């Protein structure tokens, strides 16, 4: 009998494997029970197959969505959410997915700061959906509030002012109690904001050429190529096959020069610790809410669900023919597993550079605005289990209940306490136009690659994480939640209401 990743994880958990390991490895502690279902009732008795052999497939790049029209102020788009099919696992039939325009990952929307985008979302799926643009600061009615459903056969318009700095955002489903299965099926895609500051920098440029989006998702597949939704230990779906832009453990041909990558983890709950097989560094340049004040050079970085990290890899030192594997150390720090591979295949000039100082606007916000002396209050949220559910301050979601009422423009400190071992929660807050700054984690500074503006903060086991941000610019109700989607659905989500103006 072959052991798949799930069995290995169980063994690892039983043996307490990895608990003594150095890089803060967060061991999973799966419960025994396996739950299959959600939107996959037809596959209740099918076991996941072993992951395919890595590096068989070229890295795909999601296509850029074309506007249906443009006028002086606005770009207009239409997306149809529908069932599609995609060849994912080599040698197996195509996989049924749910996608924006029927493709997975969805097409990428390119936006400009301060130029409005209006997207019409049409729902041709058999379920209610609610579409959220993660990282966008927009009015309540356009935020994909979890019960603002677009019913099957209906459509809705979303207005995005793009007041945010240049950043990597993502569109994904947010329907109450169904986000996990919907995103798992494929309702996720990039939305990239550019601005003048970013364009003035000599960073590698050109979407899909030297500026590469990478959406990471771990999934299970059945023997007919079908997606399997297998929840383990009431935690979520860990998956055994890492897809990058929808391809399993792909390879990418690169020139011997610098590339910019925008990495997004949209797994159901998996976190990763990324490193390069050569041991060479990543030049970290961006976080969830935009470019960092300064670049940071690291040998590995952790990425939890919904986090985005942007980094540059310089392939110029490698001879043509070199293969560099992007590896994951999360499951076993002594035994890296592959994510994807870069094959250096050609010679090219490289006019790009990575300046030390990148973003004076973020530097000003982080050093002058988001400082504890400016906070008008502090709120505490305990995240963890309460009986059968995942909870915030012991409570699950209640559409009628509001747990915080900041004034519009208030700077606040929010503290997240995870008093349990075994589980981590990437906590995400909607609306905040500049995201937030992580002040500290268990009293210690955040990791070097977290020294940028973020909208999702990794709260590890037994951790107490403090973030500071400005609750603005729109009044109304917005959610905050754990972005392990299964946790969010069951029921680690709450809301705040911004009061006034």
Helix ranges (H only) for 340-484 are 360-364
Strand 211-221 versus strand 241-244 pairing type: antiparallel
Separation of alpha carbons 187 and 102, rounded Å:
9
296 is in the binding site of which of ligand C2O, Cu ion, none (Cβ under 5 to 8 A by kind)?
none
Kindly tell me which residue out of 132, 258, 260, 490 binds ligand C2O, with binding defined by CB under 6 A: 132
Find the shortest distance in angstroms from Cβ 102 to ligand C2O: 21
Find the shortest distance in angstroms from Cβ 428 to ligand C2O: 5
Using the structure block, give the residue that is written with the tokens 């990575």: 354
425 is in the binding site of which of Cu ion, ligand C2O, none (Cβ under 5 to 8 A by kind)?
Cu ion
306 is in the binding site of which of Cu ion, ligand C2O, none (Cβ under 5 to 8 A by kind)?
ligand C2O
484 is in the binding site of which of ligand C2O, Cu ion, none (Cβ under 5 to 8 A by kind)?
Cu ion
CB–CB of 249/202 below 8 Å?
Answer: no
DSSP element (H, E) containing 213: strand 211-221
Find the shortest distance in angstroms from Cβ 79 to ligand C2O: 17
**Near ligand C2O by CB under 6 A, which window of 191-199, 293-301, 357-365, 477-485?**
477-485
DSSP element (H, E) containing 182: helix 179-185
- For residue 182, state whether it binds ligand C2O (rule: CB under 6 A): no
The nearer residue to Cu ion, 41 or 387, going by C-beta atoms, is 387
182 is in the binding site of which of ligand C2O, Cu ion, none (Cβ under 5 to 8 A by kind)?
none
Separation of alpha carbons 438 and 359, rounded Å:
17
Kindly tell me which residue out of 296, 481, 487, 490 binds ligand C2O, with binding defined by CB under 6 A: 481
Site string for Cu ion, 115-154 (x = CB under 5 A): -------------------x--------------------
Backbone angles phi, psi at 293, to 5 degrees: -55, -45
The nearer residue to ligand C2O, 113 or 308, going by C-beta atoms, is 308
Q: Count the neighbouring beta carbons within 10 Å of the beta carbon of residue 275.
A: 23
- Measured torsion, CA atoms of residues 369, 432, 263, 327, in degrees rounded to the nearest 10: 70
| Residues forming a β-bridge with 160 | 117
Closest CA to 14 of 3, 2, 29, 26: 29
Site string for ligand C2O, 294-333 (x = CB under 6 A): ------------x---------------------------
Separation of alpha carbons 109 and 106, rounded Å:
9
- For residue 212, state whether it binds ligand C2O (rule: CB under 6 A): no
CB–CB of 201/326 below 8 Å?
Answer: no
Separation of alpha carbons 491 and 485, rounded Å:
10
216 is in the binding site of which of Cu ion, ligand C2O, none (Cβ under 5 to 8 A by kind)?
none
Q: Give how many residues touch ligand C2O by CB under 6 A.
A: 10
Backbone angles phi, psi at 380, to 5 degrees: -120, 135
The residue ranges that bind ligand C2O (CB under 6 A) are: 132, 134, 172, 174, 306, 428, 430, 479, 481, 483
Which parts of this chain interact with Cu ion (CB under 5 A)? 134, 425, 430, 482, 484, 487
């Amino acid at each position: 009998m072959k052991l798949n990743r799930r069995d290995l994880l169980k063994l690892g958990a039983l043996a307490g494997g990895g608990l003594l390991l150095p890089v803060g490895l967060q061991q999973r502690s799966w419960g025994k029970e396996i739950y299959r279902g959600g939107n996959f009732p037809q596959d209740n008795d099918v076991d996941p197959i072993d992951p395919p052999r890595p590096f068989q497939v070229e890295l795909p790049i999601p296509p850029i969505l074309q506007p249906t029209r443009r006028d002086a102020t606005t770009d207009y788009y239409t997306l149809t959410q529908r069932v599609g099919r995609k060849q994912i696992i080599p040698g197996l039939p195509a996989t049924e997915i749910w996608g924006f325009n029927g493709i997975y990952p969805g097409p990428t929307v390119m936006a400009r700061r301060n130029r409005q985008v209006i997207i019409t979302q049409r729902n041709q799926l058999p379920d209610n959906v609610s579409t959220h643009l993660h990282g966008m600061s927009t009015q309540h009615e356009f935020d994909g509030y979890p019960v603002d459903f677009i019913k099957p056969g209906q459509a809705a318009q979303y207005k995005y002012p793009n007041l945010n700095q240049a950043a990597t955002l993502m569109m994904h489903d947010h329907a109450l109690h169904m986000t996990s299965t919907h995103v798992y099926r494929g309702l996720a895609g990039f939305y990239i904001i550019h601005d003048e500051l970013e364009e003035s920098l000599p960073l590698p440029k050109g979407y899909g050429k030297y500026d590469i989006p990478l959406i990471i998702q771990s999934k299970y597949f059945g023997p007919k190529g079908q997606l399997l939704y297998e929840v383990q230990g009431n935690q979520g779906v860990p998956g055994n096959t890492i897809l990058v832009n929808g391809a399993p453990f792909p390879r990418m041909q690169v020139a011997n020069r610098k590339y910019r990558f925008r990495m997004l983890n949209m797994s159901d709950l998996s976190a990763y610790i990324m490193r390069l097989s050569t041991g060479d560094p990543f030049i970290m340049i961006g976080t969830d809410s935009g470019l960092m004040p300064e670049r940071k050079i690291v040998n590995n970085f952790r990425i939890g669900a919904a986090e985005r990290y942007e980094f540059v890899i310089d392939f110029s030192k490698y001879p043509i023919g070199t293969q560099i594997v992007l590896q994951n150390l999360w499951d076993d720090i002594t035994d890296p597993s592959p994510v994807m591979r870069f094959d250096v295949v050609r010679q090219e000039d490289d006019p790009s550079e990575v300046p030390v100082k990148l973003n004076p606007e973020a530097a000003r916000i982080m050093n002058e605005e988001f400082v504890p002396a400016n906070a008008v209050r502090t709120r505490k949220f305990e995240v963890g289990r309460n009986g059968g559910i995942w909870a915030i301050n012991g409570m699950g979601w209640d559409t009628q209940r509001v747990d915080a009422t900041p004034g519009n423009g208030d700077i606040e400190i929010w503290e997240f306490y995870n008093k349990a071992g075994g589980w981590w929660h990437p906590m995400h807050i909607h609306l905040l136009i500049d995201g937030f700054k992580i002040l500290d984690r268990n009293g210690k500074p955040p990791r070097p690659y977290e020294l940028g503006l973020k909208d999702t903060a990794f709260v590890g086991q037994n951790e107490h994480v403090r973030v500071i941000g400005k609750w603005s610019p729109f009044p109304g109700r917005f959610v905050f939640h754990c972005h392990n989607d299964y946790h969010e659905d069951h029921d680690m989500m709450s809301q705040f209401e911004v009061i006034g103006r």
